[in-house]
Chain A
């Protein structure tokens, strides 16, 4: 039994407290205290439901030099995540039930955050032949995606949505028109032209989202079950508008935004540091503002990290050759708690919802609130400020665009079904 005393509670429903949260048998037994073997002082801290990340590249199998399940899931619990959806663009890609089972079994043995594998939509993520959705779902896959690549064949995507629909699996898309983005490495516009770097135009994202929404309409018309489309890492103002319009029209589409698109802009590229090279690229300030509006008005359902670790050496190549990706599992919540809630007054329950009920909804999971009887997957957050220190990351990617940023809201205790998986003394 664990007792977290005198702690304020926050979940999607609101902020309340203080309460004395008694945890046992993997559940919240009481909000009014009781006998426990471990007593944690929660004074001044916030207790929230454990976070769920819809989008993490954990690199196992095949690219363990960048990250593996042990380092990635440790990074997750340090970031307050109790549940992580891994992307299937590994080597080889996760495209069989056996591969999904192997990942799940290994993650279970680690006993850190719970792993929910995303599986490939097409064999080898090559965009040509669909994978066996039923078997993947049975093995434990929670969504299908060719993320890491784009879905150039619209008909294959439609067929994928159709086959996933009766299984209740969402299909997640990296929405960029590959023929329009070409070899772009940063947001296309005056700054890219000044820096002499090939641009990836915002229109490449908008064009692909528009197409995918039509593909979804087509699948919806053809299907008895509801096909669900999830648009990953939205980065543009126009993309937000398209999703907003589609959701208002009742289309079964959800979307996520990343910590980096919410806190950084293309200006970061001025120093020519490939740490800031990411796909889709960091955009203009107006895009960032549009994403924030989308978070507030419900256009965006979730904040997802797109945690994409690479080696230091890979990120010390030049901007044309360095790989795309930013690691953020360990900083995502404190970053947004500080930059959005503390500095801009973004409502805290909504922010927490974007880390909990929002992503849960995308996967078809029930909301998780801090109530008697609820599953005790929880995170305790400390309002004390501390700088981002990449050298101390659990992730193998020990660099960060936010290195040195002073943030509050660091997770100091993470519980998965009542079990302590991370604790800062």
Chain B
């Protein structure tokens, strides 16, 4: 595949190959000198039309660990409102010789639109409510570390499924890797259907015998819009020690971050040995190294 926009068109074998490469990158990151020349001479731009320090840092570190040059462009969505165009921004970077664009935007489809304007590789760094494929890959990588394989495993994703790019990409990828994905959340925050996932308003049904559980961040906007009541959400959907008891013993707990402690999950759970949150962040760099390598170099092999 030329770009990573979502997982459409990606085969299981392609994705497993990216995850294998991530394993090699993970080893690189364990070394005293955490740098390889794999992308020397390439220029990677992080183009963030929506602010996100964590994801941007992770991508930039990934590119630097492989000796790529990195340029960073952060636009405020307000400047987009003023009429600054995505196209002009990208063409400016293209003129400077950028090879790969990591694009984050608050609107679904911006990375797709970008492929119509630039010749370089486009990596979706999260587009609106649509997709966040590198998050899904790092989650899959983390789950594989914990569970060995996703084949036949029950993964529960809990929270605001309708507005979550993490849930969308996770469901797509985990199911492609053989998992049985259950998404649970308040009925008003569940989509009508979601490829790769079974949907339920029952937290218990999703957690029952689950091999792993992922809690999603609850966005303040949903509460502000009056779509849910916070107390009610906490009472019915918060992942607690007791509710986690429905899942298999030792089933790991994931969260894409940043966490609202004591909202989507009991605060103490985040620090428990079951929580893989920090592991996810570590793996994020390795997975993003693998993605950039795969798209910039791997396809030319």
Given known contacts A193-B193, A196-B129, is B109 in contact with A272 (CB within 8 Å)? Answer: yes
Interface residue? B85 (CB, 8 A): yes
Contact A319 B162 (CB under 8 A): no
For chain A, the bracket of interface size reads 10 to 19
In angstroms, Cα B112 to Cα A248, docked, is 47
Contact A320 B107 (CB under 8 A): yes
Do residues A321 and B81 form an inter-chain contact, with CB atoms below 8 A? yes
Across the interface, do A196 and B165 meet the contact criterion of CB distance under 8 Å? yes
Q: Give residues 282-329 of A contacting B (CB, 8 Å).
A: 313, 316-321
Q: How far is the CB of B249 from chain A (nearest CB, A)?
A: 34
User: Which residues in A have their C-beta under 8 angstroms from that of B194?
Assistant: 193-194
The answer to whether A317 and B80 touch across the interface, beta carbons within 8 angstroms, is yes
**Which residues on the A side are within 8 Å of B110 (C-beta)?**
272, 318
A272 / chain B contacts, CB cutoff of 8 Å: 108-110, 112-113
Among residues 182 to 218 in chain B, which have CB atoms less than 8 Å away from a CB atom of chain A? 191-195
Q: For B83, list chain A residues within 8 Å (CB).
A: 313
Determine if A320 and B106 form an interchain contact, defined as CB atoms under 8 angstroms apart: yes
Q: Mark A267-291, 1 if CB is under 8 A from B, else 0.
A: 0000111000000000000000000
Closest to A197 in B: B108
Q: Is the CB of B193 within 8 A of A190?
A: yes
| Chain B residues closer than 8 Å to A189, beta-carbon distance | 192
Is the CB–CB distance between A194 and B113 below 8 Å?
no
Interface of A (DSSP majority class): loop
B119 at the interface (CB under 8 A from A): no
Q: Is A195 an interface residue (CB 8 A)?
A: yes
Query: Which of B86, B106, B192 has the most chain A CB within a 10 Å cutoff?
Result: B192
- Count B interface residues, CB 8 Å: 27
Indicate whether A318 sits within 8 Å of B130 (C-beta atoms), given known contacts A194-B194, A271-B112, A272-B112: no
- Min distance, Cβ A190 to any Cβ of chain B, angstroms: 5
A193–B172 alpha-carbon span in the complex (Å): 13
Considering only CB atoms, which chain B residue lies closest to A271 in the complex? B112
In the assembled complex, the CB of A315 is this many whole angstroms from the nearest CB of chain B, namely: 10
B296 adjacent to chain A (CB < 8 Å): no
Residue of A nearest to B108 (CB): A196
In the complex, the answer to whether B85 meets A318 with C-beta atoms within 8 Å is: no
B26 within 8 A of partner (CB): no
CA distance A313 to B83 in the complex (A): 9
How distant is the Cα of A189 from the Cα of B192 in the complex, in angstroms? 7
Interface mask (B120-132 → A, CB under 8 Å = 1, otherwise 0): 0000000111110
Which residues does chain A contribute within 8 Å of B85, judged by CB atoms?
313, 316-317
Quick one: which of A193, A313, A318 contacts B105, CB cutoff 8 A?
A318
**Which of B105, B109, B162, B193 has a CB less than 8 Å from the CB of A195?**
B109
* In contact, B162 and A193 (Cβ under 8 angstroms): yes
* A316 CA / B130 CA spacing, docked (Å): 18
Contacts of B131 in A (CB 8 A): 196
Residues from chain B with a CB closer than 8 A to the CB of A320 are: 106-108, 128
Q: With an 8 A cutoff between CB atoms, is B87 at the interface?
A: yes
- Across-interface contacts of A271 in B (CB, < 8 A): 112
B108 near A319 (CB under 8 angstroms)?
yes
Residues of A within 8 Å of B106, CB to CB, are 320
B104 at the A interface (CB under 8 A)? no
> Which of A194, A273, A321 sits near B107, CB closer than 8 Å?
A321
- Is the beta-carbon distance between A316 and B86 smaller than 8 angstroms? yes
Contacts of A316 in B (CB 8 A): 85-87, 113
Interchain CB contact under 8 A, B195 and A196:
no
Tell me which residues across on chain A come within 8 A of B193, comparing CB atoms.
Answer: 190, 193-194
Closest Cβ of chain B to A316, distance in Å, is 5
With A and B bound together, what is the CA distance between A369 and B53 in angstroms? 68
Taking the nearest CB of chain A, how far is it from the CB of B281, in angstroms? 24
Point out residues on B near A: beta carbons under 8 Å: 80-81, 83, 85-87, 105-110, 112-113, 127-131, 162, 165, 168, 191-195
A318-B86, A318-B107 provided; 12 other pairs, C-beta below 8 A?
A190-B191, A190-B193, A193-B193, A193-B194, A196-B128, A196-B131, A196-B165, A272-B108, A272-B110, A272-B112, A316-B113, A318-B113
- Please, could you name 24 A-B residue pairs with CB atoms under 8 Å apart, sorted by A? A189-B192, A190-B191, A190-B192, A193-B193, A194-B168, A194-B191, A194-B193, A194-B195, A195-B109, A196-B128, A196-B129, A196-B130, A196-B165, A198-B129, A271-B112, A313-B85, A316-B113, A317-B85, A318-B80, A318-B107, A319-B108, A319-B109, A320-B107, A321-B81
A interface residues with partner B (beta carbon < 8 Å)? 189-190, 193-198, 271-273, 313, 316-321
